[in-house]
Amino acid sequence: MNQPIPVGLPPVTLGAALAPPVAAALPVIQFPIQPVIMAGGAGTRLWPLSREQFPKQLLNLVAEDTLLEATARRFDGVAVLAGRPAGIEPPQLVVCGEEHRFMIADMMKRAGKPARLLTEPCGRNTAPALTVAALHAMAATDGGDVVLVVTPADHSVTDLPAFRQALATAVRHADAGAIVTLGVVPVSPETGYGYIRAGGTAVDGAYTLEKFVEKPHLELARHYVESGGYWWNSGIFVVRAAVWLRAVSQLQPEMYMQCRAAYEAGEAGEAGGDTFRLNREAFGACQSDSIDYAVMEKLESLPDVPGRVVPLDAGWSDVGSWAAIWDIAPKDALGNAARGRVVFDGATACLAHSEGRLIACVGVHDVVVVETADAVLVVDKAHVQDVKNVVQRLRAEHGSEVVNHRKVHRPWGCYDAIDHGDRFQVKRIIVEPGASLSLQMHYHRAEHWVVVRGTARVTCGETVSILSENQSTYIPIGTLHRLENPGKTPLEIIEVQSGAYLGEDDIVRFEDNYGRK
Protein backbone atom coordinates (compact mmCIF):
# COMPACT_ATOMS: atom_id res chain seq x y z
CA MET A 1 0.00 0.00 0.00
CA ASN A 2 1.32 3.42 -0.86
CA GLN A 3 2.26 5.53 2.13
CA PRO A 4 0.64 8.94 2.57
CA ILE A 5 3.29 11.62 2.43
CA PRO A 6 3.15 14.87 4.38
CA VAL A 7 1.19 17.43 2.45
CA GLY A 8 0.86 21.15 3.00
CA LEU A 9 -2.29 21.60 5.05
CA PRO A 10 -4.12 24.93 4.87
CA PRO A 11 -3.95 27.33 7.82
CA VAL A 12 -6.45 26.26 10.47
CA THR A 13 -9.01 28.82 11.60
CA LEU A 14 -12.35 28.55 13.34
CA GLY A 15 -15.30 29.67 11.34
CA ALA A 16 -17.89 28.72 8.80
CA ALA A 17 -16.13 25.49 7.83
CA LEU A 18 -17.36 23.88 11.05
CA ALA A 19 -20.73 22.17 10.99
CA PRO A 20 -23.50 23.82 13.01
CA PRO A 21 -24.37 22.53 16.48
CA VAL A 22 -25.92 19.09 16.59
CA ALA A 23 -29.59 19.03 15.69
CA ALA A 24 -32.24 16.66 16.96
CA ALA A 25 -32.45 14.76 13.68
CA LEU A 26 -29.02 13.78 12.37
CA PRO A 27 -28.63 12.74 8.73
CA VAL A 28 -26.76 9.73 7.43
CA ILE A 29 -23.09 10.38 8.12
CA GLN A 30 -21.10 11.73 5.21
CA PHE A 31 -17.49 11.17 6.29
CA PRO A 32 -15.47 7.91 6.45
CA ILE A 33 -14.78 6.49 9.90
CA GLN A 34 -11.11 6.31 10.87
CA PRO A 35 -10.39 4.19 13.97
CA VAL A 36 -7.43 5.54 15.95
CA ILE A 37 -5.88 3.33 18.62
CA MET A 38 -3.70 5.04 21.24
CA ALA A 39 -1.09 2.41 22.07
CA GLY A 40 1.60 4.44 23.80
CA GLY A 41 0.88 3.75 27.49
CA ALA A 42 3.18 2.03 29.96
CA GLY A 43 0.81 0.58 32.59
CA THR A 44 3.20 0.76 35.55
CA ARG A 45 0.48 -0.33 38.00
CA LEU A 46 0.41 -3.77 36.31
CA TRP A 47 4.05 -4.55 36.99
CA PRO A 48 5.66 -7.11 36.93
CA LEU A 49 3.76 -8.25 33.81
CA SER A 50 3.76 -4.78 32.25
CA ARG A 51 7.25 -3.42 31.46
CA GLU A 52 8.57 -0.40 29.58
CA GLN A 53 9.43 -2.55 26.55
CA PHE A 54 6.33 -4.73 26.92
CA PRO A 55 3.44 -2.55 28.18
CA LYS A 56 0.01 -3.77 29.20
CA GLN A 57 -1.69 -3.28 25.81
CA LEU A 58 0.54 -6.08 24.48
CA LEU A 59 -0.52 -8.51 27.23
CA ASN A 60 -3.38 -11.03 27.26
CA LEU A 61 -4.49 -10.17 30.78
CA VAL A 62 -8.21 -10.94 30.57
CA ALA A 63 -8.57 -13.23 27.52
CA GLU A 64 -6.55 -15.12 24.93
CA ASP A 65 -6.33 -11.99 22.78
CA THR A 66 -4.03 -9.20 23.88
CA LEU A 67 -5.74 -5.98 24.90
CA LEU A 68 -4.57 -4.41 21.62
CA GLU A 69 -6.04 -7.23 19.51
CA ALA A 70 -9.35 -7.02 21.36
CA THR A 71 -9.42 -3.24 20.81
CA ALA A 72 -8.77 -3.64 17.08
CA ARG A 73 -11.74 -6.01 16.71
CA ARG A 74 -14.03 -3.76 18.73
CA PHE A 75 -14.77 -1.41 15.80
CA ASP A 76 -16.47 -4.09 13.68
CA GLY A 77 -19.90 -2.99 12.47
CA VAL A 78 -19.77 0.56 13.89
CA ALA A 79 -19.92 2.23 10.46
CA VAL A 80 -23.10 0.35 9.50
CA LEU A 81 -24.71 1.11 12.87
CA ALA A 82 -23.88 4.79 12.38
CA GLY A 83 -25.69 4.82 9.03
CA ARG A 84 -22.66 4.95 6.73
CA PRO A 85 -23.28 3.29 3.36
CA ALA A 86 -21.40 0.04 2.98
CA GLY A 87 -17.96 0.52 1.49
CA ILE A 88 -14.26 0.39 2.16
CA GLU A 89 -13.26 2.26 5.32
CA PRO A 90 -9.69 3.39 6.05
CA PRO A 91 -7.26 0.98 7.75
CA GLN A 92 -6.99 1.40 11.49
CA LEU A 93 -4.40 3.94 12.62
CA VAL A 94 -2.27 2.99 15.62
CA VAL A 95 -0.22 5.66 17.41
CA CYS A 96 2.57 3.91 19.29
CA GLY A 97 6.14 4.17 20.52
CA GLU A 98 8.94 3.55 18.06
CA GLU A 99 10.25 0.66 20.18
CA HIS A 100 6.93 -1.24 20.08
CA ARG A 101 6.13 -0.97 16.39
CA PHE A 102 7.15 -4.51 15.35
CA MET A 103 5.15 -6.26 18.07
CA ILE A 104 2.14 -4.03 17.39
CA ALA A 105 2.32 -4.66 13.64
CA ASP A 106 2.42 -8.43 14.27
CA MET A 107 -0.57 -8.25 16.63
CA MET A 108 -2.67 -6.21 14.19
CA LYS A 109 -1.94 -8.80 11.50
CA ARG A 110 -2.87 -11.57 13.93
CA ALA A 111 -6.14 -9.74 14.64
CA GLY A 112 -6.80 -9.61 10.89
CA LYS A 113 -6.98 -5.79 10.88
CA PRO A 114 -5.17 -3.70 8.25
CA ALA A 115 -3.34 -0.91 10.05
CA ARG A 116 -1.07 2.08 9.60
CA LEU A 117 1.39 2.73 12.42
CA LEU A 118 2.24 6.30 13.38
CA THR A 119 5.31 6.03 15.60
CA GLU A 120 6.31 8.51 18.29
CA PRO A 121 10.03 8.93 19.10
CA CYS A 122 9.02 9.86 22.66
CA GLY A 123 5.81 10.02 24.68
CA ARG A 124 3.94 13.35 24.68
CA ASN A 125 0.54 12.28 26.05
CA THR A 126 -2.78 12.02 24.21
CA ALA A 127 -3.36 15.56 22.85
CA PRO A 128 -0.26 15.59 20.59
CA ALA A 129 -0.95 11.94 19.66
CA LEU A 130 -4.46 12.80 18.48
CA THR A 131 -3.19 15.90 16.67
CA VAL A 132 -0.63 14.00 14.58
CA ALA A 133 -3.24 11.28 13.96
CA ALA A 134 -5.63 13.92 12.58
CA LEU A 135 -2.89 15.37 10.36
CA HIS A 136 -2.04 11.88 9.11
CA ALA A 137 -5.66 10.97 8.44
CA MET A 138 -6.25 14.12 6.36
CA ALA A 139 -2.99 13.64 4.45
CA ALA A 140 -4.02 10.06 3.63
CA THR A 141 -7.25 11.36 2.07
CA ASP A 142 -5.58 14.27 0.23
CA GLY A 143 -7.03 16.79 2.66
CA GLY A 144 -10.46 15.18 2.97
CA ASP A 145 -12.14 14.94 6.34
CA VAL A 146 -12.77 11.77 8.37
CA VAL A 147 -14.45 10.94 11.68
CA LEU A 148 -11.75 9.85 14.13
CA VAL A 149 -12.87 7.21 16.63
CA VAL A 150 -10.14 7.41 19.25
CA THR A 151 -9.76 4.68 21.86
CA PRO A 152 -6.96 3.57 24.20
CA ALA A 153 -5.43 0.21 23.33
CA ASP A 154 -5.46 -1.10 26.89
CA HIS A 155 -9.12 -1.16 27.96
CA SER A 156 -11.58 -4.04 28.31
CA VAL A 157 -15.23 -4.20 27.19
CA THR A 158 -17.51 -7.16 27.87
CA ASP A 159 -20.71 -6.06 26.07
CA LEU A 160 -19.59 -5.47 22.48
CA PRO A 161 -23.05 -4.74 20.97
CA ALA A 162 -23.69 -2.01 23.56
CA PHE A 163 -20.21 -0.57 23.02
CA ARG A 164 -20.61 -0.45 19.25
CA GLN A 165 -24.05 1.16 19.53
CA ALA A 166 -22.63 3.89 21.79
CA LEU A 167 -19.80 4.49 19.33
CA ALA A 168 -22.26 4.70 16.43
CA THR A 169 -24.27 7.33 18.30
CA ALA A 170 -21.09 9.29 18.97
CA VAL A 171 -20.07 9.03 15.31
CA ARG A 172 -23.34 10.61 14.16
CA HIS A 173 -22.80 13.60 16.47
CA ALA A 174 -19.15 13.94 15.51
CA ASP A 175 -20.05 13.80 11.82
CA ALA A 176 -22.27 16.84 12.45
CA GLY A 177 -19.39 18.81 14.04
CA ALA A 178 -19.30 17.96 17.76
CA ILE A 179 -16.42 16.65 19.86
CA VAL A 180 -17.90 13.63 21.61
CA THR A 181 -16.68 11.61 24.57
CA LEU A 182 -18.10 8.43 26.05
CA GLY A 183 -19.03 8.61 29.72
CA VAL A 184 -19.23 5.38 31.72
CA VAL A 185 -22.14 5.02 34.11
CA PRO A 186 -20.37 4.64 37.50
CA VAL A 187 -21.06 1.62 39.70
CA SER A 188 -18.81 2.64 42.62
CA PRO A 189 -16.96 5.74 43.92
CA GLU A 190 -13.67 5.10 42.10
CA THR A 191 -10.78 7.44 42.92
CA GLY A 192 -8.63 6.20 40.03
CA TYR A 193 -10.83 7.68 37.28
CA GLY A 194 -11.52 11.19 36.09
CA TYR A 195 -15.19 12.21 35.90
CA ILE A 196 -17.43 14.02 33.42
CA ARG A 197 -20.45 16.14 34.30
CA ALA A 198 -23.18 15.97 31.69
CA GLY A 199 -26.25 18.18 31.53
CA GLY A 200 -29.49 18.84 29.70
CA THR A 201 -31.81 16.35 28.08
CA ALA A 202 -30.45 13.71 25.75
CA VAL A 203 -30.75 14.60 22.06
CA ASP A 204 -30.35 11.59 19.76
CA GLY A 205 -28.61 9.71 22.57
CA ALA A 206 -26.15 12.43 23.63
CA TYR A 207 -25.99 14.95 26.46
CA THR A 208 -24.32 18.34 26.67
CA LEU A 209 -20.78 18.20 28.00
CA GLU A 210 -20.57 20.56 30.98
CA LYS A 211 -17.33 19.80 32.78
CA PHE A 212 -14.32 17.50 33.09
CA VAL A 213 -13.09 16.92 36.66
CA GLU A 214 -9.88 15.29 37.83
CA LYS A 215 -9.53 12.11 39.89
CA PRO A 216 -11.30 12.90 43.19
CA HIS A 217 -10.66 11.85 46.77
CA LEU A 218 -13.01 9.20 48.15
CA GLU A 219 -15.64 11.46 49.71
CA LEU A 220 -15.90 13.58 46.58
CA ALA A 221 -16.12 10.44 44.43
CA ARG A 222 -19.03 9.26 46.58
CA HIS A 223 -20.75 12.61 46.08
CA TYR A 224 -20.29 12.35 42.31
CA VAL A 225 -21.82 8.87 42.18
CA GLU A 226 -24.72 9.71 44.50
CA SER A 227 -25.59 12.89 42.59
CA GLY A 228 -26.19 10.93 39.40
CA GLY A 229 -24.82 13.75 37.25
CA TYR A 230 -21.24 12.53 36.90
CA TRP A 231 -19.85 9.70 34.80
CA TRP A 232 -16.43 8.10 34.61
CA ASN A 233 -14.20 9.49 31.88
CA SER A 234 -13.51 6.57 29.54
CA GLY A 235 -10.82 8.35 27.52
CA ILE A 236 -12.71 7.51 24.32
CA PHE A 237 -13.28 10.43 21.94
CA VAL A 238 -15.00 10.78 18.55
CA VAL A 239 -14.35 13.88 16.42
CA ARG A 240 -13.80 14.90 12.82
CA ALA A 241 -10.14 15.43 11.99
CA ALA A 242 -10.72 18.99 10.70
CA VAL A 243 -12.76 19.90 13.79
CA TRP A 244 -10.03 18.66 16.12
CA LEU A 245 -7.28 20.47 14.22
CA ARG A 246 -9.19 23.73 14.29
CA ALA A 247 -9.91 23.36 17.99
CA VAL A 248 -6.35 22.49 18.99
CA SER A 249 -4.88 25.24 16.80
CA GLN A 250 -7.12 27.77 18.53
CA LEU A 251 -6.68 26.52 22.10
CA GLN A 252 -3.10 25.20 21.90
CA PRO A 253 -1.47 26.97 18.94
CA GLU A 254 2.09 26.13 19.99
CA MET A 255 1.27 22.44 20.36
CA TYR A 256 -0.44 22.44 16.98
CA MET A 257 2.55 23.99 15.22
CA GLN A 258 4.98 21.58 16.93
CA CYS A 259 2.90 18.58 15.92
CA ARG A 260 2.54 19.85 12.39
CA ALA A 261 6.32 20.34 12.14
CA ALA A 262 6.92 16.82 13.49
CA TYR A 263 4.52 15.34 10.95
CA GLU A 264 5.67 17.31 7.91
CA ALA A 265 9.31 16.39 8.68
CA GLY A 266 8.38 12.73 9.26
CA GLU A 267 9.01 9.86 6.90
CA ALA A 268 7.84 6.38 5.98
CA GLY A 269 9.69 3.57 7.76
CA GLU A 270 12.87 2.33 6.11
CA ALA A 271 11.68 -1.26 6.22
CA GLY A 272 8.60 -0.49 4.15
CA GLY A 273 5.18 -1.55 5.34
CA ASP A 274 2.56 0.76 6.77
CA THR A 275 4.66 2.79 9.17
CA PHE A 276 5.15 6.54 9.38
CA ARG A 277 7.75 7.99 11.73
CA LEU A 278 7.42 11.42 13.29
CA ASN A 279 10.46 13.64 13.29
CA ARG A 280 12.37 13.06 16.53
CA GLU A 281 13.62 16.61 17.12
CA ALA A 282 10.34 18.37 16.32
CA PHE A 283 8.13 15.97 18.26
CA GLY A 284 10.51 16.01 21.21
CA ALA A 285 10.02 19.80 21.43
CA CYS A 286 6.24 19.39 21.65
CA GLN A 287 4.58 20.06 24.99
CA SER A 288 3.09 17.04 26.75
CA ASP A 289 -0.61 17.29 27.59
CA SER A 290 -3.77 15.20 27.65
CA ILE A 291 -6.84 15.65 25.44
CA ASP A 292 -8.79 16.62 28.57
CA TYR A 293 -6.44 19.37 29.71
CA ALA A 294 -5.45 20.70 26.31
CA VAL A 295 -8.89 20.97 24.70
CA MET A 296 -11.90 19.43 26.43
CA GLU A 297 -11.72 21.56 29.59
CA LYS A 298 -11.58 24.70 27.42
CA LEU A 299 -14.31 23.89 24.90
CA GLU A 300 -16.68 26.50 26.31
CA SER A 301 -14.44 29.17 24.76
CA LEU A 302 -15.21 27.73 21.30
CA PRO A 303 -18.96 28.28 20.74
CA ASP A 304 -18.77 26.75 17.25
CA VAL A 305 -17.51 23.41 18.65
CA PRO A 306 -20.19 21.70 20.78
CA GLY A 307 -19.14 19.12 23.33
CA ARG A 308 -21.30 16.04 23.74
CA VAL A 309 -21.34 13.01 26.06
CA VAL A 310 -22.74 9.63 25.05
CA PRO A 311 -23.40 7.24 27.97
CA LEU A 312 -21.56 3.93 27.86
CA ASP A 313 -22.89 0.92 29.76
CA ALA A 314 -20.96 -1.96 28.24
CA GLY A 315 -18.88 -3.61 30.97
CA TRP A 316 -16.05 -1.15 30.45
CA SER A 317 -12.80 -1.27 32.46
CA ASP A 318 -9.55 0.64 32.02
CA VAL A 319 -7.68 -2.45 33.33
CA GLY A 320 -5.69 0.04 35.38
CA SER A 321 -4.68 -2.13 38.35
CA TRP A 322 -4.55 -5.70 39.60
CA ALA A 323 -7.79 -5.01 41.49
CA ALA A 324 -9.42 -4.14 38.14
CA ILE A 325 -8.17 -7.45 36.72
CA TRP A 326 -9.73 -9.27 39.68
CA ASP A 327 -13.02 -7.39 39.15
CA ILE A 328 -13.48 -8.67 35.59
CA ALA A 329 -11.88 -12.13 35.92
CA PRO A 330 -13.88 -15.36 36.37
CA LYS A 331 -13.88 -16.41 40.04
CA ASP A 332 -14.48 -19.55 42.08
CA ALA A 333 -17.09 -19.86 44.83
CA LEU A 334 -14.78 -18.11 47.32
CA GLY A 335 -14.08 -15.17 45.01
CA ASN A 336 -10.63 -16.31 43.90
CA ALA A 337 -9.37 -15.65 40.36
CA ALA A 338 -6.49 -17.59 38.84
CA ARG A 339 -4.37 -17.65 35.70
CA GLY A 340 -1.70 -20.29 35.13
CA ARG A 341 -0.54 -22.87 37.72
CA VAL A 342 -2.38 -21.86 40.90
CA VAL A 343 -3.68 -23.71 43.98
CA PHE A 344 -6.01 -22.08 46.55
CA ASP A 345 -6.49 -23.59 50.03
CA GLY A 346 -8.57 -21.60 52.48
CA ALA A 347 -7.98 -18.42 50.46
CA THR A 348 -10.73 -15.91 49.67
CA ALA A 349 -11.08 -12.98 47.24
CA CYS A 350 -7.53 -13.43 45.91
CA LEU A 351 -5.95 -13.05 42.48
CA ALA A 352 -3.03 -15.24 41.47
CA HIS A 353 -1.32 -15.02 38.06
CA SER A 354 1.48 -17.44 37.21
CA GLU A 355 3.66 -17.19 34.12
CA GLY A 356 5.24 -20.58 34.80
CA ARG A 357 5.90 -21.61 38.39
CA LEU A 358 3.25 -22.94 40.76
CA ILE A 359 1.59 -20.40 43.09
CA ALA A 360 -0.04 -21.76 46.27
CA CYS A 361 -2.24 -19.36 48.27
CA VAL A 362 -3.11 -20.74 51.71
CA GLY A 363 -5.40 -19.02 54.22
CA VAL A 364 -5.00 -15.51 52.78
CA HIS A 365 -7.63 -12.90 51.93
CA ASP A 366 -7.70 -10.02 49.41
CA VAL A 367 -4.15 -10.71 48.21
CA VAL A 368 -2.72 -10.39 44.69
CA VAL A 369 0.22 -12.64 43.70
CA VAL A 370 1.85 -12.28 40.28
CA GLU A 371 4.78 -14.50 39.22
CA THR A 372 7.13 -13.97 36.26
CA ALA A 373 10.51 -15.47 35.38
CA ASP A 374 12.43 -12.66 37.10
CA ALA A 375 10.04 -11.06 39.63
CA VAL A 376 7.23 -11.89 42.07
CA LEU A 377 4.65 -9.37 43.30
CA VAL A 378 2.66 -9.86 46.51
CA VAL A 379 0.29 -7.01 47.39
CA ASP A 380 -2.84 -6.43 49.43
CA LYS A 381 -5.67 -5.69 47.02
CA ALA A 382 -6.35 -2.41 48.85
CA HIS A 383 -2.84 -1.18 47.92
CA VAL A 384 -2.58 -2.16 44.25
CA GLN A 385 -2.34 1.51 43.21
CA ASP A 386 0.97 1.64 45.10
CA VAL A 387 2.65 -0.84 42.73
CA LYS A 388 3.73 2.17 40.69
CA ASN A 389 5.91 3.20 43.66
CA VAL A 390 7.89 -0.03 43.30
CA VAL A 391 8.37 0.71 39.61
CA GLN A 392 9.64 4.21 40.39
CA ARG A 393 12.10 2.79 42.92
CA LEU A 394 13.36 0.16 40.49
CA ARG A 395 13.77 2.81 37.81
CA ALA A 396 15.81 4.98 40.18
CA GLU A 397 18.01 1.97 40.96
CA HIS A 398 18.34 1.11 37.22
CA GLY A 399 16.72 -2.26 37.81
CA SER A 400 16.39 -4.26 34.60
CA GLU A 401 13.05 -5.66 35.80
CA VAL A 402 11.31 -2.36 35.05
CA VAL A 403 12.42 -2.30 31.40
CA ASN A 404 12.18 -5.82 30.00
CA HIS A 405 11.07 -9.31 30.83
CA ARG A 406 13.68 -12.04 30.85
CA LYS A 407 12.23 -13.04 27.47
CA VAL A 408 12.63 -10.14 25.04
CA HIS A 409 10.81 -9.89 21.69
CA ARG A 410 12.66 -8.64 18.61
CA PRO A 411 11.44 -8.17 15.00
CA TRP A 412 13.39 -11.28 13.98
CA GLY A 413 12.17 -13.45 16.90
CA CYS A 414 13.07 -13.37 20.59
CA TYR A 415 15.71 -14.18 23.18
CA ASP A 416 15.56 -15.42 26.77
CA ALA A 417 18.37 -14.36 29.15
CA ILE A 418 18.57 -17.68 30.99
CA ASP A 419 21.69 -17.08 33.12
CA HIS A 420 24.33 -14.46 33.89
CA GLY A 421 27.27 -13.85 36.16
CA ASP A 422 30.52 -11.92 36.40
CA ARG A 423 31.76 -11.42 32.81
CA PHE A 424 29.34 -13.91 31.21
CA GLN A 425 25.72 -14.17 30.04
CA VAL A 426 23.75 -17.05 28.49
CA LYS A 427 20.83 -16.50 26.10
CA ARG A 428 18.42 -18.79 24.29
CA ILE A 429 17.80 -17.15 20.89
CA ILE A 430 14.98 -18.02 18.47
CA VAL A 431 15.07 -16.66 14.91
CA GLU A 432 11.91 -16.98 12.82
CA PRO A 433 12.07 -18.58 9.33
CA GLY A 434 13.54 -16.21 6.76
CA ALA A 435 14.53 -13.63 9.41
CA SER A 436 17.98 -12.32 10.26
CA LEU A 437 19.69 -10.25 12.91
CA SER A 438 21.51 -7.09 11.88
CA LEU A 439 25.04 -7.10 10.50
CA GLN A 440 26.82 -5.95 13.64
CA MET A 441 29.86 -5.98 15.87
CA HIS A 442 30.68 -5.67 19.59
CA TYR A 443 33.55 -3.78 21.21
CA HIS A 444 33.43 -5.47 24.62
CA ARG A 445 32.25 -9.07 24.24
CA ALA A 446 32.89 -12.28 22.35
CA GLU A 447 30.17 -14.84 21.63
CA HIS A 448 29.88 -18.63 21.29
CA TRP A 449 26.86 -19.95 19.37
CA VAL A 450 25.54 -23.53 19.55
CA VAL A 451 22.70 -24.55 17.22
CA VAL A 452 20.14 -26.73 19.03
CA ARG A 453 17.34 -26.63 16.44
CA GLY A 454 17.10 -25.65 12.78
CA THR A 455 19.73 -24.32 10.39
CA ALA A 456 21.83 -21.17 10.77
CA ARG A 457 23.64 -19.08 8.19
CA VAL A 458 26.50 -17.35 10.01
CA THR A 459 28.56 -14.43 8.74
CA CYS A 460 31.80 -14.01 10.71
CA GLY A 461 34.20 -11.53 9.16
CA GLU A 462 34.75 -12.59 5.54
CA THR A 463 33.46 -16.13 6.13
CA VAL A 464 29.86 -17.30 5.55
CA SER A 465 28.98 -20.78 6.79
CA ILE A 466 25.95 -23.03 7.34
CA LEU A 467 25.53 -24.66 10.76
CA SER A 468 23.09 -27.44 11.63
CA GLU A 469 22.03 -28.94 14.95
CA ASN A 470 24.84 -29.57 17.48
CA GLN A 471 27.34 -27.47 15.51
CA SER A 472 28.87 -24.31 16.98
CA THR A 473 30.93 -21.23 16.13
CA TYR A 474 32.90 -18.46 17.84
CA ILE A 475 32.52 -14.71 17.21
CA PRO A 476 35.62 -12.77 18.41
CA ILE A 477 35.44 -9.26 19.87
CA GLY A 478 35.33 -6.57 17.19
CA THR A 479 34.38 -8.96 14.36
CA LEU A 480 31.60 -8.09 11.92
CA HIS A 481 28.95 -10.83 12.14
CA ARG A 482 25.38 -11.79 11.37
CA LEU A 483 22.98 -14.64 12.23
CA GLU A 484 20.28 -15.68 9.73
CA ASN A 485 17.64 -18.39 9.47
CA PRO A 486 17.48 -19.56 5.84
CA GLY A 487 15.18 -22.47 6.69
CA LYS A 488 11.43 -23.01 6.95
CA THR A 489 11.37 -23.83 10.69
CA PRO A 490 12.44 -21.69 13.67
CA LEU A 491 16.16 -21.56 14.41
CA GLU A 492 17.14 -21.97 18.06
CA ILE A 493 20.65 -21.36 19.38
CA ILE A 494 22.32 -21.05 22.76
CA GLU A 495 24.57 -18.00 22.93
CA VAL A 496 27.28 -17.59 25.57
CA GLN A 497 28.59 -14.03 25.85
CA SER A 498 31.84 -13.26 27.66
CA GLY A 499 33.61 -9.97 28.21
CA ALA A 500 34.01 -6.89 30.37
CA TYR A 501 30.65 -5.35 29.36
CA LEU A 502 27.54 -7.27 28.25
CA GLY A 503 24.91 -4.52 27.84
CA GLU A 504 22.53 -4.47 24.87
CA ASP A 505 23.90 -1.06 23.89
CA ASP A 506 27.22 -2.66 22.89
CA ILE A 507 25.84 -3.28 19.41
CA VAL A 508 27.10 -1.37 16.37
CA ARG A 509 24.76 -2.02 13.46
CA PHE A 510 25.97 -1.74 9.86
CA GLU A 511 22.96 -3.21 8.05
CA ASP A 512 19.48 -3.93 9.37
CA ASN A 513 16.31 -5.19 7.71
CA TYR A 514 14.09 -3.44 10.25
CA GLY A 515 15.22 0.18 10.08
CA ARG A 516 16.90 0.17 13.50
CA LYS A 517 19.87 2.44 14.01
DSSP secondary structure letters along 421-459: ETTEEEEEEEE-TT-BPPEEE-SSEEEEEEEEES-EEEE
**Span of 204-218, 227-241, 388-402 with lowest mean pLDDT:** 204-218
In the structure, what pLDDT confidence band is assigned to residue 24 with cuts at 50, 70 and 90? Answer: very low
Q: At what angle do helices 253-264 and 126-140 cross, to 10 degrees?
A: 50
Percent of the chain with pLDDT over 70: 92
Q: What is the pairing mode between strands 472-475 and 351-354?
A: unpaired
Higher pLDDT, 23 or 320: 320
pLDDT reported for residue 16 = 30
In the structure, what pLDDT confidence band is assigned to residue 188 with cuts at 50, 70 and 90? Answer: confident
pTM for this prediction: 0.86
Percent of the chain with pLDDT over 90: 70
Residue-range domains of the chain with CATH: 33-317 (3.90.550.10), 322-394 (no CATH), 407-511 (2.60.120.10)
Strand ranges (E), 8-67 = 33-39
pLDDT, tens only, 110-143: 999 989 999 999 999 999 999 999 999 999 888 8
pLDDT reported for residue 273 = 53
Average of per-residue pLDDT values in the chain: 89
pLDDT, tens only, 432-481: 999 999 999 999 999 999 999 999 999 999 999 999 999 999 999 999 99
In the structure, what pLDDT confidence band is assigned to residue 179 with cuts at 50, 70 and 90? Answer: very high
Q: What is the pairing mode between strands 407-410 and 413-421?
A: antiparallel
In the structure, what pLDDT confidence band is assigned to residue 51 with cuts at 50, 70 and 90? Answer: very high
In the structure, what pLDDT confidence band is assigned to residue 29 with cuts at 50, 70 and 90? Answer: confident
Looking at the predicted structure, is the pLDDT value of residue 15 above 60? no
| Residue 310 CA neighbour count, 13 Å, CB half | 27
* Of 273, 503, 266, 476, the residue nearest 404 (C-alpha): 503
How far apart (Å, rounded) are the C-alpha atoms in residues 222 and 230?
10
Looking at the predicted structure, is the pLDDT value of residue 424 above 80? yes
Looking at the predicted structure, is the pLDDT value of residue 516 above 80? no
How far apart (Å, rounded) are the C-alpha atoms in residues 69 and 115?
12
